[in-house]
Amino acid sequence: MTTFADIGDRLAALAVEVPSWAYGNSGTRFKVFGSPGTPRSVEEKIADAAQVHRFTGLAPSVALHIPWDRVDDFGKLRAHAEDLGVRLGTVNSNTFQDDDYKLGSLTHADPAVRRKAVEHNLECLEIMTETGSRDLKIWLADGTNYPGQGDIRARQDWLAEGLAAIYAELGEGQRLVLEYKFFEPAFYHTDVPDWGTSYVHVAALGDQAMVCLDTGHHAPGTNIEFIVAQLLRLGKLGSFDFNSRFYADDDLMVGAADPFQLFRILVEVIRGGGFQPAGPDHREGVAFMLDQCHNIERKIPGQIRSVLTVQEMMARALLLDGDALAAAREQGDVLAANEVYMDAFYTDVRRDLAGWREARGLPADPMRSYLASGYQEQIEADRVGGAQAGWN
């Protein structure tokens, strides 16, 4: 029987990276709503992200998206983050918002456009050296809308060439993670639609290339925990973009749609050795990141809720009684095995977590503490004038 006291130290290793873009305005193709207090600069986004860490102790790093978060001096930005008690994390390249990329980026038929997309990723690598980041995350909007529109086979070859050119410039300790997504914005074919395609490319590149699994990027009904198990088995699960979805790539708060799925995923992460302390230089283990948009809810509380949900489900997953599960499996006792599994999922860890946080000098209830802190009122009063950060 595993108790909460047994898992406390392991739980302390959990770190969830938050995305800078979660603090800016976002929306759907129908409307982007502004909200009071929204950051006008990357510095303000990082200040907001630092609040999530301050109240939860769970979010020590912030992912950047380039060019959204481009600044003149990344060394200065790094110092700004560190002054606020956080680090700069994964750098996301963006080859989906320039007119040249309308028909593709790394997979475009025109070599000049492909080169431009490679150059952009190389710029991201330079930024990573300044920010001290480990991971370059590549997600491509590349694909086609109509059968016959593009040479699907040639595009795979161009993709492999482009990725190899980027990979060749990785510094020591840096990694390239390739994110897949089954559709959107392309509706007929996508150039990196699934984990298998991402795996094929990163396996060809070498040890410093891994797959990024965004939980919102699968067809409905996909068994995501199986993909997690397989990628860990292959040593190629680099990172997660956590979020949840009811329909497509909804980017809702992680665990909102299906907390049981999050639990099942984390069980396989633990089982496959993917949950390890990051180590002093933050170069070990699978990266847990959020990739979410808070279109209608307040953004900082939305992020606080999200990291706490990951923590709660991680605690439940750590409580899974491995010995009892192994015994039931050995006896072929289907119902007993399932009962052990469900027992862990149904364990309410909220009170234990509150005490555990207090013992570590954190607020027992991070959400209430944040709401009572006055930060939200302060940014709403201070951040007037200027252009709010958003998706552009």
Residues making contact with ligand PSV (CB under 6 A): 21, 92, 139, 179, 181, 214, 241, 249, 291
Q: How far is the CB of 367 from ligand PSV (least distance, A)?
A: 24
Which option in ligand PSV, Mn ion, none does residue 225 bind, with CB closer than 5 to 8 A by kind?
A: none
Closer to ligand PSV by CB, 69 or 312: give it. 69
Query: What is the closest distance, in whole angstroms, from the C-beta atom of residue 342 to ligand PSV in the complex?
Result: 31
Quick check: 69 binds Mn ion (CB under 5 A)?
no
H/E stretch holding 176: strand 175-179
Q: How many residues bind Mn ion (CB under 5 A)?
A: 3
Q: Is 291 in the site for Mn ion (CB under 5 A)?
A: yes
Binds 249, which of Mn ion, ligand PSV, none (CB < 5 to 8 A, cut-off by type)?
Answer: ligand PSV
CA dist 267 and 256 (Å) reads 18
Cα separations in angstroms, 24 against 17, 68, 253, 296 = 16, 10, 15, 12
For Mn ion, the closer CB: 167 or 242? 242
Query: Which residue in the shown chain puts its C-beta closest to ligand PSV?
Result: 139
CB of 17 to Mn ion, least distance (A): 12
> Binding string, 123-162, against Mn ion, x = CB under 5 A?
----------------------------------------
Phi and psi (nearest 5°) for 380? -65, -35
If one counts every other C-beta atom within 10 angstroms of the C-beta of residue 280, the result is 7
Paired with 88 in beta bridges are: 62
Residue 214 binds Mn ion (CB under 5 A): yes
Q: How far is the CB of 122 from ligand PSV (least distance, A)?
A: 18
Element (H, E) at 198: helix 195-205
Residue (136 or 315) nearer to ligand PSV, CB: 136
241, 251, 268, 352: residue in contact with Mn ion (rule CB under 5 A): 241
Q: Is 279 exposed, middle or buried (0-12, 13-18, 19+ CB in 10 A)?
A: exposed
Site for Mn ion in 315-354 (CB under 5 A): none
- Integer Rg of the chain from CA: 21
Q: Give the other-Cβ count within 10 Å of 43's Cβ.
A: 15
CB of 152: closest distance to Mn ion in angstroms? Answer: 23
* Closest among 37, 134, 22 to 69, alpha carbons compared: 22
Distance CA 388, CA 390 (A): 6
**What percent of the chain is helix, strand and coil (3-state, nearest 5)?**
45, 15, 40
- Closest approach of Mn ion to the CB of residue 214, in Å: 4
| Distance in Å, CB of 68 to ligand PSV, minimum | 9
Applying CB under 5 A, the residues found at the interface with Mn ion are 214, 241, 291
